[in-house]
Amino acid sequence: MKTDPFDFHKAAKQASIADKLKEIRPDPGPNAPASLQRIDAAAEQHGFVARESPRGRPTRRRDVGPTLPINMRAPERVAIPFMQFCEQNRYTYWEGLEELMRRCGVGEE
């Protein structure tokens, strides 16, 4: 006669869930392209430019040196024309302020 009619001893011998989880490995995914240079060359033929390329879109950011934060409330009759001036001339707000100061002769040394 069996002492273990339900075969519980087999379950005890099987690997635990933690052991099974440790065996799971991520899928390595598709292989990397053989030559990224060939891909870049093909893209360039169709007018695409790499983001890393120095020939990419020029930025308007300039090195301005140390800065100070300025926060002011302006009436709409002043703020809206100033914002339009900056938009039309492609100035940041500080560049627009600097241009207006230059035109008035303020801050020149």
The per-residue pLDDT for range 34-63, each reduced to its tens digit, is 687 888 888 888 888 777 756 555 565 667
CA 90/CA 59 separation, integer angstroms: 12
Q: Is the pTM value of this prediction over 0.85?
A: no
Q: Give Cβ neighbours of residue 96 (< 8 Å, ≥ 6 apart).
A: 82, 85, 86, 89
The per-residue pLDDT for range 84-101, each reduced to its tens digit, is 999 999 999 999 999 999
Going by the DSSP 8-state scheme, the letter that residue 35 receives in this structure is -
CA 60/CA 91 separation, integer angstroms: 9
15 pLDDT tier (thresholds 50, 70, 90): low
For the chain, give every domain's residue range: 74-102
